[in-house]
Amino acid sequence: MAERVIPLVDHRAAALPPPLARAPVAAGTLRDARGRPLRDLRISVTDRCNFRCSYCMPKDVFDSSYAYLRHADLLSFEEIARLAGLFAARGVTKLRITGGEPLLRKGIEHLVGLLAALRTPGGRKLDLTLTTNGSLLARKARALKSAGLDRVTVSLDGLDDAVFRTMNDVDYPVAEVLAGIDAAQAAGLAPIKVNMVVKRGANDGQILPMARHFRGSGVVLRFIEYMDVGATNGWRMDQVLPSAEVLRRLQTEYALVPLAASAPGETAGRWGYAGADGRHDPALGEVGFISSVTHAFCGDCNRARLSMDGKLFLCLFASQGYDLRALLRSGTPDELIDAALAAIWQGRADRYSELRASLPPEAAHALRRVEMSYIGG
């Protein structure tokens, strides 16, 4: 059989800023080349997962011959915490642990503890959250909460067991994820968000059942447009169900009113369930829409992403990251790593989602990018 070679990750690192550009940059919040601050750091802790969602880690690519990273290649928890501390000093107030499936990383509670101990320059704890497929949550929710985790986001693509088993493509039952959500609620990891990637023709029949289930439950359900991340999922525009269409379907059953964004750089458009008076009823809750295909939101994007092997990515659609692990493991002192971070962020001009709108779909998709399972959502 001919060998199949699929370029998943561009392992060349982007060039680190030259030493001259690494002269100390005045302390405080950084702004990129478009004036955007750095507020949100997503930390991917493993490239492995026990699910094979076809939009993220399709089975035919992520099979037994797939070359995952070796443990020695992963940043240690102490290395991650050191970098996160430097980011916090530069204005990051929110940390999200992701993957792959982050709860598969052994001893993840230890990392949670290290990150929970970090403080902003003003002395405040950072908002610490984690995105998970929920399969190990029933077992781990209490330990995560005790270690200092504030909240969780659980990915769930349907309530119907057969649809869910097809979406995760490993025949995993939905009841276990629902038990994980219950355990997270009981442990106080609230407010819990549930992310549903909507793929037309696959799980769009689950939009209304999901809304019915989570309305009034305290859980915020968010619909994510199926994105053209990575190079393996065979993304096609006709499989994207635009958020406007999801909203229209919800409105066949419920009255919804638009809500203001909760924070600058917030990725989700928010709509609240209305009560009998036509106004938002907080007891009924809200839904969110992450419309990264039909509604670009690069203008105030304040997110950076750190891969499990220590590369810093400035955009979900970037093809190369900056190798911070090389700095960590060559004994570079904090001041010089900080100066490198500052120079990297100050040079950032990424705005892929906005540019995509001006490219023909095939041209946009042909750009080679890293996988979602490598740099997290």
Residues contributing to the site for ligand SAM (CB under 6 A): 49, 55-56, 98-99, 101, 131-133, 155, 195, 197, 224, 226-227, 229, 233, 372-373, 376-377
Q: How far apart are the first and last CA of the chain?
A: 35
Residue 156 binding: pick among ligand SF4, ligand SAM, none (C-beta 5-8 Å cut-off by kind): none
DSSP-derived 3-state class of residue 91: coil
Q: Number of helices and strands (H, E) in the chain? A: 12, 12
Residue 226 binding: pick among ligand SF4, ligand SAM, none (C-beta 5-8 Å cut-off by kind): ligand SAM
- Exactly one of 56, 83, 88, 290 binds ligand SF4 (CB under 6 A); that residue is 56
- Exactly one of 214, 271, 317, 374 binds ligand SF4 (CB under 6 A); that residue is 317
- From CA 69, how far away is CA 160, in angstroms rounded? 34
- Whose Cβ is closer to ligand SAM: residue 88's or residue 372's? 372
45 binds ligand SF4 (CB under 6 A): no
Structure tokens at 120: 């902003």
Closest distance to ligand SAM from the beta carbon of 72 (Å): 22
Sheet holding 303-306, edge to edge: 256-259, 269-273, 286-290, 220-225, 193-198, 151-155, 127-132, 94-98, 40-44, 303-306, 311-313, 322-323
Q: Which of 352, 265, 356 is nearest to 317 (CA)?
A: 352
Q: Are 157 and 169 in contact (CB under 8 A)?
A: no
87 binds ligand SF4 (CB under 6 A): no
Closest distance to ligand SAM from the beta carbon of 84 (Å): 18
Closest distance to ligand SF4 from the beta carbon of 331 (Å): 32
Residue 93 binding: pick among ligand SAM, ligand SF4, none (C-beta 5-8 Å cut-off by kind): none
353 binds ligand SF4 (CB under 6 A): yes
Q: Which of 39, 43, 52, 12 is nearest to 377 (CA)?
A: 43
163 binds ligand SF4 (CB under 6 A): no
The structure tokens 């689950």 sit at 206
List contacts with ligand SF4 (CB under 6 A). Answer: 49, 51-53, 56-57, 99-101, 133, 155, 297-298, 301, 303, 315-317, 350-353, 373
